[in-house]
Structure 1
Amino acid sequence: MTVAIEENRVRFSELRMEGVTRRFGPAVALDRIDLRIKGGEFLALLGPSGCGKSTALNCLAGLLPLSAGEIWLDEERIDGLPPERREFGMVFQNYALFPHLSVRKNVAFGLAVRRMGKAETARRVDDALRLVELTEHAHKLPGQLSGGQQQRVAIARAVVLRPRLVLMDEPLSNLDAKLRVQMRTEIRRMHQDLGLTTVYVTHDQEEALALADRVVVLRDGRIEQSGTPEEVYTYPSSTYIAGFMGYRNLLEMPVVSKDGGRVTIADRELRLTGVPQEKITGAHAVAAVRPEDFRLADGTSEKRNLLTVRVEVSEFHGREVAAEGVTGDGHVVHFRLPERVAPGSRVELTVPEERVLVFGESPGPEED
């Protein structure tokens, strides 16, 4: 496997999408996307259904022509090249394996298309099967494998070509929760061991944060935010990003004070002070709070950011309870606690000011 690893090392410095646009009739799926991907980087395109992430991947792969813009690989313009000349590998959501071919022949298929010699093909396929730990299943048909094993075959088929770029389109969405976590680790390990450059499409923020060196969040065909997982998770640039990255509580209320780098917003029975993420100029603002940042007030807590809620729903999640409560003035609050709380009970919660992010915009309609 050492030979395969060495020959898969990074083969370009930078891929650039410049003004990339894709239209389907009057609908704009991608709107002037500018994006740079470094060789060796693991980049996740993140967003809900319809945001343009799979369209971007298909444009990179050459499966969709651009309506406008250019794609460059170092000094080579590639948006006019057919897919087979881009030397990219692709892993699809539905695996796309040939059901009548064995695992070995599925993995070897792309090499056969390239008319590679039998000896070199056998060596490469052996390396790829060892990499995904499927050597003993080489003779089986895809229908005889589990979903996780089929996905490993699809990955082996992509990396056996020693691609310049690996494109993955929601590759784990058909697997159960346990397998998703296991395959996530395997994909990251292969990316590192083989020195791959990977673009990974997902709607799952946890998956993107765990895998990627950089996360690009798309919205309506445009880039809403780009940064390291830590940056996007900790410092969302808008209420849209905040909601998508786990800030389930987006509470819009009138602004009552701005003082010392803090903003306070309040309703009749709910008052929150937090850290502004942008200049707050309007009469209303939005407080974004993660459910896990709430805790039960114990009487010794600071008097700011105290709220009383009536528990509506309480779900047992092992070491913690996920609950939904309502304040006296009707604000719905999602919170997670190590303590059990019963529906119908009233609890007093608190949240540190530094855990409350304040935006000067309405969250708007919820995205699909």
Structure 2
Amino acid sequence: MTENRFDHLRLDQVSRRFGGRAALEALDLSIAGGEFVALLGPSGCGKSTALNCLAGLLPLSGGSIWLDDRRIDTLPPEKRGFGMVFQNYALFPHLSVRRNVGFGLRMRRVSREETRRRVDEALRMVQLQQYADRLPGQLSGGQQQRVAIARAIVLEPPLVLMDEPLSNLDAALRLEMRTEIRRLHQSLGLTTVYVTHDQEEALSLADRLVILREGVVQQVGTPEELYRGPVNAYVAGFMGYRNLLPVQTDGGQGAVRVTAPGLAVTGTAREAVAGGPAVAAIRPEDFVVTDTGDNLISVDVEVVEYHGREQAVQGRLKGGQVIRLRSVDRLAPGDAVTVAVPADKLLVFAADADALAAAEAAAGGRSASPAAAPAGAAT
């Protein structure tokens, strides 16, 4: 369906300032035609600013945007020809589904026959043919979001921009729409830039992730690269490492010894770390309840949540730090258990002030920053 192909979209040192504050700082990013890229981070990290700069809704404070060899940041939004899917759907309530989907084509003075053909095809792609004559208010939230997607793809755009399109849907609909978006991306060969704060959503949809923090890129890579190899404690917190513990280390790279009250284990430094304060990151699912082997940790169980095949457990180390784990063993509040974690699953990062503050808050049972938040949580 999409005919407006391109080889590369390139953001070259793209910056955006509001007054004296940098919302986006020197963003360099190259996106291949047909790629699905997710911009991930908490509110205020710059992801929506980057999307709005791409769309032409915000002028750049610096840098440039190129579609192959054509500079486009000097063009108004309507001249870029991108499709956009908003968080709040932005449908016309007084127009039928068919007229909503075809609105952009009519504005472009596409012939009536061609408009009908393309609208029919778009409605078929999102499986809404039978709802063509209904008003948006007569549809469910998921159906309204499908209308918004159909309105974007019917223009056969070179690029589709999606700004947290699933955040207003309930959990079941979010899962359904995730599958639908991925299916459309693959079947149409769309190039998509997708903004979200949800780690699980980004992992399931994107070919590559871009994690932003206060307008600065922290890491770019495939879902597997970021999931297995976060470069710092901030990225680790966003990629599911709910246990961020302030520790002491003897320094080095690779296998390093880390200690804290109630903790003396071996971890893996992702980069060379100096001796002294550091942050250890561990996923809840990487703990194993056992009293044999290496890297053993004593945990006093405080809270247990039933999740079907496994339990989500919150406990404390003997030194008082909060620890979170998942277990197929049936545990109960008040239990004293021993758990082990493989050394290559306990990552050690250099500790800047923000990382230490996040780790101290998490270890105390509070949440002070995205790095301390549960994976996928809004912050």
Query: Which interval holds the TM-score relative to the shorter structure?
Result: over 0.9
CA distance in 2 between counterparts of 1:234 and 1:143 reads: 43
Native 8 Å contact 1:10 1:39 kept in 2: no
Deviations, residues 134-172 of structure 1 (Å, cap 9, x unaligned): 000000000000000000000000000000100000000
2:112 equivalent to 1:118:
yes
Residue 286 of structure 2 is aligned to residue 296 of structure 1: no
* RMSD of aligned alpha carbons: 1.3
Deviation at 1:352, TM superposition (A): 1.2
Structure 2, unmatched stretches of 5+, are 358-368, 371-378
Is 1:150–2:144 an aligned residue pair?
A: yes
Segments of 4+ moved more than 6 angstroms: none
Letter in 2 for 1:276: A
Q: TM-score, normalised by structure 1?
A: 0.95
Q: Is the 8 A contact 1:325 1:333 kept in 2?
A: yes
Q: For 1:1-368, what aligned pairs fall within 5 Å after superposition?
A: 5=1, 8-9=2-3, 11-256=5-250, 261-297=254-290, 299=291, 301-302=292-293, 304-362=294-352, 363-365=355-357, 366-367=369-370, 368=379
Q: 1:36 to 1:56 in 2, by over 3 A?
A: same
Following the alignment from structure 1 to structure 2, what is the Cα–Cα distance between the partners of residues 318 and 196?
Answer: 37
User: Shift of residue 281 of structure 1?
Assistant: 1.4
Structure 2 residue identity aligned to 1:339: D
Question: Which has the higher mean CA deviation after the structures are superposed, 83-92 or 21-30?
Answer: 21-30
Inter-partner Cα distance in structure 1 for 2:249 and 2:107: 64
- In 1, distance between residues paired with 2:160 and 2:261? 53
Check 1:281–1:25 CA distance in 2 against 1; reply closer, same or farther (3 A cut): same
- Aligned-pair CA distance for 1:340: 2.0
Report the secondary structure of 2:91's partner residue.
coil
Q: Conserved in 1, the CA contact under 8 Å of 2:301 and 2:335?
A: yes
- Count of aligned residue pairs for this structure pair: 358
User: Do 2:15 and 2:22's aligned partners in 1 also have CA atoms closer than 8 Å?
Assistant: yes
**Distance in 2 separating the partners of 1:63 and 1:360:** 38
Would you say the 8 A contact 2:250–2:274 is kept in 1? no
Once the two structures are TM-superposed, the CA of residue 251 in structure 1 deviates from its matched residue by 1.3
- Quote how far apart the aligned CAs of 1:267 are: 2.3
Unmatched segments (≥5 aa) in structure 1: none
Deviation string, structure 1 residues 106-158 (Cα, Å, up to 9, x no partner) = 00000010011100000000000000000000000000000000000000000
Query: How many percent identity over aligned positions?
Result: 62
Structure 2: how far apart are the matches of 1:113 and 1:258? 62
- The whole-number CA distance in structure 2 between the counterparts of 1:207 and 1:106 is 27
Q: Residues 312 and 323 of structure 1 are in contact (CA less than 8 Å); yes or no, is this contact kept in structure 2?
A: yes
Q: Is the 8 A contact 1:10 1:195 kept in 2?
A: no
Deviation at 1:257, TM superposition (A): 7.0
Is contact 2:252-2:272 (8 Å) kept? no
User: C-alpha offsets along residues 280-300 of structure 1, whole Å, 9 cap, x if unaligned?
Assistant: 213122211000000111x4x
Task: Determine the C-alpha separation between the residues in 1 that align with 2:4 and 2:302.
Answer: 53
Normalised TM-score (structure 2): 0.92
**Amino acid of the residue matched to residue 52 of structure 1?**
G
Q: Deviation of residue 9 (structure 1)?
A: 4.6
Deviation of 1:21 after TM superposition, in Å, equals 0.8
